[in-house]
Structure 1
Amino acid sequence: MKPIINLLFVLILGIAPALAQQPKMMFGDTTALGRPFSKDPMVIKFKGRYLMYYSVHMPVKNDGDGMQGWQIGIATSNDLFNWKRIGEIAPEAAYEKQGLCAPGAIIRNDTIHLFYQTYGNGPKDAICHATSTDGLHFTRDASNPVFRPTGRWTNGRAIDAEVHLFNNQYFLYFATRDSSGRIQQQGVAVTSAKSSFDRSSWKQAADKSILYPQLPWEGMCVEGASIITHNKKLYMFYAGSYNNAPQQIGVAVSTDGINWNRLSNQPFLKNGKPGEWNSSESGHPGIFQDTDGKTWLFYQGNNDNGHTWYLSNLPIGWKTDGPYLIK
């Protein structure tokens, strides 16, 4: 019996680390593909409940013609850990024909303003705007797409919208490619605090990248900016490197919304170790501050090079020199 007991003990020891590292939140929308596949989380608290908007594929056609582009999924939760899918925002307008994804959301008065990107149009992908008073049904901005960058520093593409109010104006952070179409980088536009957010209201705030991949772990990509204000400073949680390269999360700080400095030359949140659920990446951050003052970092991860994709979260603490992961 001893060899069997010893074998069981070894197996238990081998499984325990994998079980221990599983996060409390593991959400994967299975409706489109029959397997967990959710990306680009954005969380808000609206009318007493949490809402999460995320990128998800449209259902596969009956003819088996593979994935059919992207749409935005909607899920709700009472505790930030257990989520239930309650709907989607599917392509509706002609400019969304190839898909829409990478949602960013803010609340102004009693209205949700959703900022998202068109998909599948290469350098012509751009940022769009829609509004909702219930979190489920959205009215498109008549001027969509509302923003694309210009200048020799960019190829004109704009994705991964993040809108944040700071110093009495709204900043629109977006990812774009350089003129060669190879390097993903961050840009920014601004509008007034009373803006309608339509196309005519946005002004590009810098004719250059505000954060460009420079560190080895960032590879050729800095994208997915998510912004929070703390102690009168802006903190940008961003994704470094392309998906599954691995993509990991870094943090930069700014006092004006345009000039940014990295807090470290190392990732703030690394990908997992081999065998862990996020060994392929910990990417595309979504920073969320709850009404109780607690801060949560939502992000995407997988361990199979993108065959599946889960969304999870981690609590964030603050000290004088910036954020830290609460373990």
Structure 2
Amino acid sequence: MNMMYTDTDRGRPMAKDPAVVKHQGRYYMYYSVPPHLQPEQAATGWGIGIAVSDDLTTWHKVGEVPQEQDCERNGICAPGVILLDGRVHLFYQTYGNGPKDAICHAVSEDALSFRKNASNPVFRPTGGWNNGRAIDADVIAYDDQLWMYFATRDPQGEVQMQGVATAPLASDFGQEAWTQRCEDSILKPELPWEEQCIEAAALVEREGRLYMFYAGAYNNRPQQIGCAVSEDGISWTRLFQEPFLRNGEPGSWNASESGHPFLFRDEDDRTYLFYQGNNDLGKSWYLSMQEIGWREGLPYLMITDYLA
């Protein structure tokens, strides 16, 4: 295993939903942390931790994103991150509001201190195909716009699926900037292993095509990671009928799942798949990473001992 990270500051080993960016020569990872086990400290619910690394393998926590706005009071989590014109843009969800949870935005000059968008939350979906909830944002600059992929649920709140919206790259990414680009889900669960959930889109562009790594099935079912490809960002085709990255064998660190991916592309064009896992049905959570190689338009795991 080449990386293993968790956060114990809130009373148990738990770090979920990784997102990574390189800023001024260092790597920054943003991730979800749970409500504190001490009742008097648990009022703010889920939060977002920040860790730093010089090598993508050894990480040290350096802070948390404060919950400052009214929409954040019940919790924030599931960050997505991108570097644009030297500034770090963080997209994250509110938590604890059911179908009213939505996507927020913040920006930072130093990757540590964030200025929240005054119009937060900046996006939630519309249309009769969903229940109005937006979570698990991931963004990518593509075709002169910022594309935001998000998870939502059907009107009954049972099936998790993917949607997409875009905003001009020159905008402030506030509420008025976003245009929903779909009138139905762009990717919903169909394969047996995906059960009732596709969430946590993780995007990368290669040779003009977009690749989406995604989490299939709800947590610990087990959740596993699949991959799809698109020529236009809206119509998607699965590359594999089976999971690209499976959960581990019984007794391994990720026996309960390998889930919630994030695809980080470094300055040397190497790509790394970050993901979460555990072996106790969610009593703890750890983050890990595997390098991804590419051959004839298909991704593959560079090493095969990720279950060790």
Q: TM (normalized to structure 1)?
A: 0.91
Q: Deviations over 1:101-158 (max 9, x none)?
A: 0001111112111100000000000000111101111111011110000001000000
Q: What is the aligned partner in structure 2 of residue 284 from structure 1?
A: 260
Q: What is the aligned partner in structure 2 of residue 203 from structure 1?
A: 179
Aligned partner of residue 311 in structure 1, secondary structure:
strand
Say which structure is richer in helix: 1
Q: What is the aligned partner in structure 2 of residue 132 from structure 1?
A: 108
Instruction: State the structure with more CA Rg.
Output: 1
Identity of aligned residues (%): 56
Note if 1:236 corresponds to 2:250.
no
**1:226 aligned to which of 184, 202, 205:** 202
Q: What is the aligned partner in structure 1 of residue 306 from structure 2?
A: none
Note if 1:262 corresponds to 2:238.
yes
Aligned partner of residue 130 in structure 1, secondary structure:
strand
Q: How many residues align?
A: 303
Letter aligned with residue 217 of structure 1 = W
Change beyond 3 A, Cα 1:106–1:66: closer
Q: Deviations over 1:150-186 (max 9, x none)?
A: 0010000000011111111111100000011000000
CA–CA distance in structure 2, aligned partners of residues 101 and 305 of structure 1 = 20
**1:123 aligned to which of 99, 104, 122:** 99
Q: TM (normalized to structure 2)?
A: 0.96
Q: What is the aligned partner in structure 1 of residue 13 from structure 2?
A: 36
Q: Deviations over 1:48-100 (max 9, x none)?
A: 1000000002433365x878511100000011110000000132111101100
Letter aligned with residue 3 of structure 2 = M
CA–CA distance in structure 1, aligned partners of residues 42 and 266 of structure 2 = 38
CA–CA distance in structure 2, aligned partners of residues 194 and 183 of structure 1 = 34
CA contact (8 A) 1:113 1:130 kept: yes
CA contact (8 A) 1:226 1:236 kept: yes
Letter aligned with residue 232 of structure 1 = G
Runs ≥4 residues deviating over 4 A = 65-68
CA–CA distance in structure 2, aligned partners of residues 193 and 31 of structure 1 = 36
Q: What is the aligned partner in structure 1 of residue 145 from structure 2?
A: 169
CA–CA distance in structure 2, aligned partners of residues 37 and 256 of structure 1 = 36
Provide the alpha-carbon RMSD of the alignment: 1.2
Which stretches in structure 1 are left out of the alignment for 5+ residues? 1-22
CA contact (8 A) 2:35 2:42 kept: no
Q: Deviations over 1:33-59 (max 9, x none)?
A: 2x3200000011001100000000243
Q: What is the aligned partner in structure 1 of residue 166 from structure 2?
A: 190
Note if 1:27 corresponds to 2:17.
no
